Amino acid sequence: MKCDRSMLLLYAVTDRAWTGKKTLLQQVEEALAGGATCIQLREKELPEEEFRQEALAVKELCRRYHVPFLINDNVELAVSCGADGVHVGQHDMSAADVRRRIGPGKILGVSAQTVEQARQAEEDGADYLGVGAVFSTSTKSDADAVSHETLQKICAAVSIPVCAIGGIHKENLHLLKGTGIAGVALVSAIFASPDIRKSCEGLKKLALQINAQDTLEALLHTNIRGAIFDADGTLLDSMGIWDTLGEDYLRTKGKIPRENLRETFRDMSLLQAACYYRENYALTESPEKIVEELNAMIASFYEKEAPLKEGAAAFLEELCQRNIKMCIATATDHSLIRAALQRCGVLHYFTFILTCGQAGAGKDTPAIYEEALALLGTGKEETYVFEDALYALKTAKTAGFPTVGVKDPSSAGQEREIIKQADYYLYTFTK
């Protein structure tokens, strides 16, 4: 397991000073359940054998949540217990020596406070940097503070991701927007909270918001020359129509939908759903007529209502200004997507709309992306696929495309895995 930007988004650093009635292991699990993307076990005074047993327990917990587990300072323990990596400070073993000891496969994090330290750490084999304290904190003196200007310079000076640390909490986290950080490392903001899981959920949302601007900027400064966009859930805020279609249709017939109808409808074709409605709600229309009426509702939504996601139009304009070729690759009917994009005023940005029907396969195979690539005429390594669905992202990535995950409520249960799979993740198109 090696480091990527998504690992640093919400980096939880333990401190047993706030365990109270809970064990440290219980606190760590609450943080993981709340969305922590990395755990660093930090113990300054625990006897070595107790530290080892604790490390093994936390490691297994992190494995269950598929989250990296690092140990602070204790390089030998990190190696012997099979941790994913180690984090060291400027006054610990040198980064070069640590890299030689842990080998190339483990994650190495290094603390830095200056551009010179940051560059040296990268040269010595660091995979990421922890930079701080970015705010005043009771555990750091003013002399240890790192200004936001210095933080920006460090982020710009190195190619490895940077995690901000020190005095960060929900009220000041937004002030780090625009610095270029990949994420935030938190101690008391997580482990001193009476509800660790809830705190992590809120902090992760804030971290995603500040990361979005920097992700957009980073993306625009890659080698991108072509963009293949999914429509529903990626550019269009349209997935809700499919969730409520059955319920809305039955209400037009004066019927009261059952509570679990959405789950029932989700795995059905329109014809199967039509037969189900007819049999279970005493409808007199034929299945074919019901399908016709459902399609009319869908068409009306795309033609009159389906909105673009916030910031999408401005983002498309920026890509256009940079002469980046764009197209749509969608499973939805061509005429529906065309109507929605035209009404939203963005159709002219796209060279063409390609559907799964035209490609002859769904997005569980790369056929639609490969055909779109050929039509765009750009190189695969410079053509980015934008998707909100995990399975589609996996397909594109396996086929060798750079990928951009886009947040959508319909994929909330898979967000952690989407962030892990995608090369970039956009919480929003808004800068």
Give the tokens for residue 75. Answer: 């390089």
41 is in an annotated binding site: yes
Q: Is 86 annotated as a binding residue?
A: no
The one catalytic residue in 52, 140, 225, 262 is 140
Closest CA to 31 of 46, 17, 14, 7: 14
140 annotated active-site? yes
138 is in an annotated binding site: yes
Using the structure block, give the residue that is written with the tokens 């400064």.
221
Q: Is 44 annotated as a binding residue?
A: yes
- Burial-class residue 218 by CB neighbours within 10 Å (0-12, 13-18, 19+): middle
Is residue 111 a known part of a binding site?
Answer: yes
Q: Provide CB contacts within 8 A for 271, sequence distance 6+.
A: 287, 291
Q: Are 275 and 294 contacting, i.e. CB atoms less than 8 angstroms apart?
A: no
- Structural contact between residues 358 and 337, judged by C-beta atoms closer than 8 angstroms: no
**Residue 204, marked binder:** no
Instruction: Determine if residue 140 is labeled as part of a ligand binding site.
Output: yes
The answer to whether the annotation marks 137 as part of a ligand binding site is: yes
323: left (phi over 0), alpha (psi -120 to 50) or beta: left
Give bridge partners of residue 69 from the DSSP assignment. Answer: 39
Identify the active-site residue in 6, 111, 238, 411: 111
Catalytic residue among 42, 101, 420, 431: 42
Residue 42 appears among annotated catalytic residues: yes
Q: Is 295 annotated as a binding residue?
A: no
- Residue 42 annotated as part of some ligand binding site: yes
292 is in an annotated binding site: no
State both tokens at 200. Answer: 């992590």
Residue 238 CA: distances (Å) to CA of 260, 298, 341, 403, 414: 21, 10, 12, 21, 18
* Annotated binding-site positions: 40-44, 72-73, 92, 111, 137-140, 167, 187-188
Which positions are annotated as active-site residues?
42, 111, 140
Binding site members for Mg(2+): 73, 92
